[in-house]
Each structure stands twice: as C-alpha cells, then as structure tokens.
Amino acid sequence: MQFVVFYSSDPSALPGLQAVYPRHAAYFQAFAAEGGLIGIGTFDNPAVNGSMGIFTSRERAEEFIAGDPFVLEGLAVPSEIREWNALTFGPQDSA
C-alpha cells in the first residue's frame, strides 16, 4: 500500500513557488534519502494542474506535509491523503 497527496496552488503563487523551490527541493531530497518518499512531481502546467507525491505510509505523508516549505509558506494546499493500490508492470522509462 502506498499513499498519495496532491498539491494545488493558485497560479498567482508562481513567483513565490519559484522563490521557495530550492528549500522545497532540499526538503524532498532529504525525505527521499530517508526512505519515506517514493516519488514526487508536477503535472503539465503545474501552476494550474498541481503536483503529486507518493509515500510509503500515511504517517510519512503527514510528516512530509507538516514540514514542506511550500505548505508552510501557504503556497500549496495538500489534498487529503489517499491510499493507493498501485499495479506495476516492470521497469518504466522515467523520462
């Protein structure tokens, strides 16, 4: 079982998101190194369509949200945490 969180933001928040992104990136890279984050990324046109994170547990998702600079600065709004029953079919090109 994995856990998914979607982030949304107002398109007017883009300058703030860009300014805070280095802190957000350092945060998610450290979180991934600890093993709590499976994947993270934006959808096309992220200022409109947002982003998504996949976590190893509900607790790790909650912890991530609680410390994420985007959330702390009021630039992104997380969705409810959703359980995800992923089906995988072998190696995928990540590009």
The domain spans of the chain are: 2-84
Whether the predicted pLDDT of 95 surpasses 60: no
Whether the predicted pLDDT of 22 surpasses 70: yes
Q: Is 0.85 surpassed by the pTM of this model?
A: yes
Q: Which two tokens stand for residue 47?
A: 């200022």
pLDDT of 91 reads 77
Task: Find out whether 59 and 71 touch, Cβ atoms under 8 Å.
Answer: no
Neighbours of 95 (CB within 10 A): 3
Amino acid at the residue 34: E
Residue 14: strand, helix, or coil: helix
The CATH number given to 2-84 is: 3.30.70.1060
Mean pLDDT to the nearest integer, 23-39: 95
Mean pLDDT to the nearest integer, 59-69: 97
pLDDT of 48 reads 84
CA distance 88 to 48: 28
CA distance 12 to 16: 9
